[in-house]
Amino acid sequence: MYNGGALIMRRHLISLNDLSYADLCQIIQRSTDFSKGNVEIQQLLVGQIIGIYFKKTSTRTRTAFSAAALRMGAQIISYGPNDLQINTGETIEDTTNVLSGMLDCLVARTAGEWSEMQMFASQNKMSVINAMSADEHPTQALADLTTIKNHFGKIENIKVLYFGEGNNTAAALALALTKFPGAELHLRTPQGYGLKPEILQAAQQYAQISSAKIIENHDPFDLPNDIDVIYTTRWETTGTSKEDPCWKERFQPFMVTSRLMDSYSSAVFMHDLPAHRGEEVEADVLDGPASIAFVQAKNKMYSAMAAMEWCLSSSSN
């Protein structure tokens, strides 16, 4: 966007693959500072106009970005699934061309093809933040790492056991956590529902550089000795169904139970929410003393603040 004659180049946050370790640390540090009330936030985004476009349902992410923008002094324009002319056949390229002349940042949940998110980010006049696509949920991982850092005082050397589908939340967690030295991500996913090979490969490369570990297998009874965090997500991401009529039988052994939690007496429980008690997690676990899932949900607002600030701290040409 032209601003006082200077061309402002905006940054995007589309995938954690695009963030260096230094950028990731900076965003997480800022997010933890926001969560502790250490920063005067009211003026940080004054004058910015943020579009919030959610093609799919959301309780946390949409509210987190809207509340964060308003608390930081920005103004927002909110678009639900039926509001943009994309619905009547206008192309995403034309939509982006128009919105980037008027908005400073677009927070978008497409939950569709990766190319859709990339098309939104095919310009640099307006920042684009991926608020969840089918492949990756990067801002969820920012909230997750903020929660881990606040709870343990560090992310390095933290060991996470992830139970359930290798979905977009798991993908983001894998791409983020493996950048931290000594961190370990142990995924136990049902056969046929693991991480996409390209995500696993990228995370393995990050792990090699940082001396982290990522290990995926499909046996819920093959468990590591020592774990700090047990993490799960809903089995039907954004309510999507699975083709296999017997899929629930495959997922059943991957439920996080009190018995599993008892195997790791000092571990905390995390969940990106929304939850289905009695499916991916027992109610006693989600609502129990080891659960930090609702703190994690609140941290989505602080990580949204950090993400928008990072994107909009643009350089002039």
Spatial separation of the C-alpha atoms in residues 273 and 41, rounded to whole Å: 26
Kindly tell me which of 103 and 275 has the beta carbon lying closer to ligand CP: 275
State yes or no: residue 133 binds ligand CP (CB under 6 A). no
| Nearest approach, Cβ of residue 198 and ligand CP (Å) | 22
State yes or no: residue 110 binds ligand CP (CB under 6 A). no
Kindly tell me which of 185 and 297 has the beta carbon lying closer to ligand CP: 297
Going by the DSSP 8-state scheme, the letter that residue 171 receives in this structure is H
State yes or no: residue 58 binds ligand CP (CB under 6 A). yes
State yes or no: residue 273 binds ligand CP (CB under 6 A). yes
State yes or no: residue 272 binds ligand CP (CB under 6 A). yes
Please select the residue that binds ligand CP; options are 31, 32, 48, 140, rule is CB under 6 A: 140
State yes or no: residue 144 binds ligand CP (CB under 6 A). no
What DSSP string runs through the chain?
Answer: -EETTEEEEPP-B--GGGS-HHHHHHHHHHHHHHHTT-S--TTTTTT-EEEEEESS--SHHHHHHHHHHHHTT-EEEEE-TTTSGGGGT--HHHHHHHHTTT-SEEEEE--S-HHHHHHHTS-SSSEEEES--SS--HHHHHHHHHHHHHHHS-STT-EEEEES---HHHHHHHHHHTTSTT-EEEEE--TT-S--HHHHHHHHHHHHHHT-EEEEES-TT---S--SEEEE--SSGGG---S-TTHHHHHGGG-B-HHHHHTSTT-EEEE-S---BTTTB-HHHHTSTTB-HHHHHHHHHHHHHHHHHHHHSPEE-
Residue 274 C-alpha from the chain's centroid: 13
Q: Which residue stretch of 52-60, 90-98, 99-107, 183-191 sits at the interface with ligand CP (rule: CB under 6 A)?
A: 52-60
Q: Which residue stretch of 55-63, 154-162, 213-221, 262-270 sits at the interface with ligand CP (rule: CB under 6 A)?
A: 55-63
Parallel/antiparallel/unpaired status of strands 229-232 and 268-271: parallel
Kindly tell me which of 41 and 273 has the beta carbon lying closer to ligand CP: 273
State yes or no: residue 59 binds ligand CP (CB under 6 A). yes
Q: End-to-end alpha-carbon separation of the chain, Å?
A: 11
Question: Per-residue string for binding with ligand CP, 61-100, x by CB under 6 A?
Answer: x---------------------------------------
| Nearest approach, Cβ of residue 239 and ligand CP (Å) | 10
Question: Per-residue string for binding with ligand CP, 189-208, x by CB under 6 A?
Answer: --------------------
| Nearest approach, Cβ of residue 131 and ligand CP (Å) | 7
Spatial separation of the C-alpha atoms in residues 140 and 237, rounded to whole Å: 13
State yes or no: residue 291 binds ligand CP (CB under 6 A). no
State yes or no: residue 60 binds ligand CP (CB under 6 A). yes
Is residue 178 within 8 Å of 168, Cβ to Cβ? Answer: no
| Nearest approach, Cβ of residue 293 and ligand CP (Å) | 10
Kindly tell me which of 1 and 293 has the beta carbon lying closer to ligand CP: 293
Q: How many residues bind ligand CP (CB under 6 A)?
A: 9
Q: Which residue stretch of 54-62, 158-166, 170-178, 210-218 sits at the interface with ligand CP (rule: CB under 6 A)?
A: 54-62
State yes or no: residue 280 binds ligand CP (CB under 6 A). no
Binding residues for ligand CP, per CB under 6 A?
58-61, 132, 140, 272-274
